[in-house]
Structures are given as structure tokens and as C-alpha cells.
Amino acid sequence: MKIFHNLTSANLLQPTILTIGTFDGIHLGHQALLRQLTEAAQERQAQTAVITFHPRPKTVLAPHLANNDYLTTPQERTALFEKFGLDVLIIIPFTLEFAQTTAYDFMKLVTNHIKVIEFWAGHDFTLGKNREGNLEKLTALGQEFNYTVREFAPFLINSQPVSSTQIRQLLGMGDVRQAAHLLGRYPSLTGQVVEGVKRGRKLGFPTANLAAPAERLVPANGVYATFAHTTNAPRLASVTNIGVRPSFEGDTRTVETHIFDFSETLYGQPLTLEFVEYLRSEKKFNGVEELMAQINRDVKQARALLAGEFG
């Protein structure tokens, strides 16, 4: 996969089937679109390309809204695009100045650097200043810039279109199982392992403390059955607590993972967690013995659940 960080350096002379969007999460709807792009490209002996943005337009145009709810970092999105067979990825920094670009000027710039033969978009897609570039406008521009517009039908599950917004809502409720159903994979979180207060180690349940990227959405507080991926070992069964550790009067939200039957030191290393199932809410315990008894129950439940997971 070829990657560009601006349009002017692309200069794609091969016939190209293009789509544009944020693609946060690259969920099943995005994946269906990528499959259709690939099929169309094969039929027309063309390549596939995506133009995406980071930060996303919403973050720039509505800074008062949450900006720490990304389902994927740019690096994670890039890896997923490559996994699903995209030929060309163009990541454009979205700025207030860029937001003033008209649909005409943007498509002129695109077609000056990419030989677009088809442009694919959903029925409600818009681009350009004041969101003027709807499908009707883009179809008219296609007559001038020599491309056709193909409308992509929404990907439905239970008669509802799959969306990144829906997945964010599910993760905000801790419903990682349903989020996985819409993503086509377990929701995950990658960060660096940092030192904590080592309280878990003293209790006999050492934990890896994950420092997640500031922009990434972290699932709701609670205890989860998870798979942990370290640099040297993929998919280790684990249990993860997200929250403020109320039994110890905590006030800082943390992500702490106890990896079963694991004794390696992970400080400073990357760690990826896959969230499989929500086990229970976070709560305050009346003493260490009650806490340890609950942790033992959590570990037993997570072990049994994860033993039956495949995928």
C-alpha cells in the first residue's frame, strides 16, 4: 500500500477508484465498501484509493465536543486499510483553512493529482465549504473532471446502518461484545506499559498499567475479560480493570491488566488489549480480603470465558 500525506505528492497516473471519509474504526460498513471498491477496481483494471483526514473534521470544526473518542489512531487505521487490501492511502491534515475549500476546488485538486474514474460515496456524503459537495454536486463536477459517481448503500445489521457513532456509544456503555459485532473484530486499545503503584503485585495479581493515547476512546469503567498482545506473545488471556480504584480512594482513571500465568516485565513496551466481554462494574470493597476474593472470581470467570473464544 502506498501512503501519502498530501495530495500534491500523490500524482497517481493509473486509473483509480476513490472514496473519501474519516473511516474511524474501519467497521463492517467500511469493510464492505472497501470490498466493493476492490471488486470494481478489478473489473476496470484500476487501483483503489482512500482520502482520509486527521484530525477528523468534527474535531476541528466543533472543538467544544469530545476529542478523545477516536476508535483508532492514524497508525491503527493505516494498518487496517492495508489489511483489507487498499492500494493507496492519502492522509490529509484537516485545518480550519482547509475547511474553506470549495467542493469544486477540492475535486479539481484531487483530479489534477489522481486519475479518478469512479468516486464512491454514501447517500448522505458531503464535502467542501458549507458541506456543499453532496452527491448531486459531485456528479455534476464529474462531468467536468471525467469521473462517475457510484452511491454506496448503507451496510445494515438488524435493519440499522453500522456507524462509528453507534460503536462509540456501545463502548461508552461497556458493551464490548456488541461493539465487536459491528467492528468485525474485538475492540482494542494499544498503549505503552508504565509503572504504577504495584499494589496488584503485593496482592498476588501483578498488573500491566496501560497508558493509552490521549485521543483514543477507552471503554466504560468496569472489569473485562481481555486478550493481551505483547511484543513477544500474541493473545494472552487476561482480565482488565478500567476505573479509579475506589477501594484505594483513587481519582485517576487507569487501565490495569492482569495477564494469566505471565511473569515478564513489560515496562516501556507496547501492549494491545482486545476487549472480549464486560464482567462487572467497578465497586468499592470493604477490605483487602473481600477485594481479593472478587479478583479470584473475576480471574476464574475470565479464564472460562476466554477458553471458549475463537477469532
Q: Classify residue 202: in a domain, yes or no.
A: yes
Which residues of the chain register pLDDT less than 70?
197-204, 245-251, 310-311
Q: Classify residue 234: in a domain, yes or no.
A: yes
Based on the domain organization, do 74 and 212 belong to the same domain? no
Q: Classify residue 32: in a domain, yes or no.
A: yes
Using DSSP bridges, classify how beta strands 188-194 and 160-161 pair: parallel, antiparallel or unpaired. Answer: unpaired
CA dist 260 and 258 (Å) reads: 6
Based on the domain organization, do 11 and 129 belong to the same domain? yes
CA dist 121 and 101 (Å) reads: 19
CATH of the domain at 247: 2.40.30.30
Q: Are 25 and 164 in contact (CB under 8 A)?
A: yes
pLDDT in tens, 153-171: 999 999 999 999 999 999 9
CATH of the domain at 129: 3.40.50.620
Q: Classify residue 279: in a domain, yes or no.
A: yes
Structural domain boundaries enclosing 122: 2-161
pLDDT computed for residue 65 by the predictor: 83
Locate the DSSP E strands across the chain: 2-4, 12-20, 47-53, 88-92, 114-122, 148-152, 156-157, 160-161, 188-194, 208-211, 222-229, 236-243, 254-259, 270-280
Based on the domain organization, do 89 and 191 belong to the same domain? no
pLDDT computed for residue 284 by the predictor: 78
What the block records as the C-alpha cell of 266 is 513489560
Based on the domain organization, do 64 and 18 belong to the same domain? yes
Based on the domain organization, do 134 and 34 belong to the same domain? yes
pLDDT in tens, 84-137: 999 999 999 999 999 999 999 999 999 999 999 999 999 999 999 999 999 999
Based on the domain organization, do 149 and 10 belong to the same domain? yes
Active site amino acids = 256
Which of 126, 161, 196 is the last residue before a domain boundary?
161
Domain count of the fold of the chain: 2
Give the length of the chain.
311
- pTM recorded for the entire structure: 0.93
CA dist 28 and 252 (Å) reads: 34
CA dist 64 and 154 (Å) reads: 29
Q: Classify residue 228: in a domain, yes or no.
A: yes
Q: Classify residue 76: in a domain, yes or no.
A: yes
In the three-class reduction of DSSP (H, G, I as helix; E, B as strand; rest coil), residue 141 is classed as helix
CA dist 107 and 110 (Å) reads: 5
